[in-house]
Amino acid sequence: MSFIEVKGIKLELDDNGFLKEPEKWTEEVAIAISIRQNLDKLNKDHWKVINHIRNYYLEYNVPPTVRRITKETGFDIKYIYELFPLGPIKGACAIAGLPQPTGCV
């Protein structure tokens, strides 16, 4: 287990960098997780993907498929991997504060 600290609050991450208590997610938490993933700064395209993933998860209680992410954001898969080098699931879902999806290692 590891931790991040945001505004004086210590938050636990699982071994793969996913927030153990997703209900504590904030944009500041997203930024802290992105720093752990060696992303310099989240730009508007990062936030478009993050917000889409979060909104989809909050509506359907599962993360969207990669195909849906590309369709809904208009970004091709190559660009999404440029935004999130760890990938749209492991990288983007972790930053978006979702629990680790089943089958994601």
- Model confidence pLDDT, tens digit, residues 68-93: 999 999 999 999 999 999 998 889 99
**Mean of the per-residue pLDDT values for the chain?**
92
Q: What is the DSSP letter of 19?
A: B
102 lies in some domain: no
88 lies in some domain: yes
| Domain containing residue 19 | 2-95
Give pLDDT, residue 105. Answer: 45
The pTM (predicted TM-score) of the whole model is: 0.91
16 lies in some domain: yes
100 lies in some domain: no
105 lies in some domain: no
Tell me what the mean pLDDT of segment 55-78 comes to: 95
- Of 65, 58, 68, 55, nearest to 89 by C-alpha is 65
Q: CA-to-CA distance for 64 and 11, rounded, in angstroms?
A: 25
**Is 104 designated active site?**
yes
10 lies in some domain: yes
Structural domains in the chain (count): 1
83 lies in some domain: yes
**What CATH code is carried by the domain that includes residue 9?**
1.10.10.370
Tell me what the mean pLDDT of segment 90-97 comes to: 95
The catalytic residue among 6, 42, 86, 104 is: 104
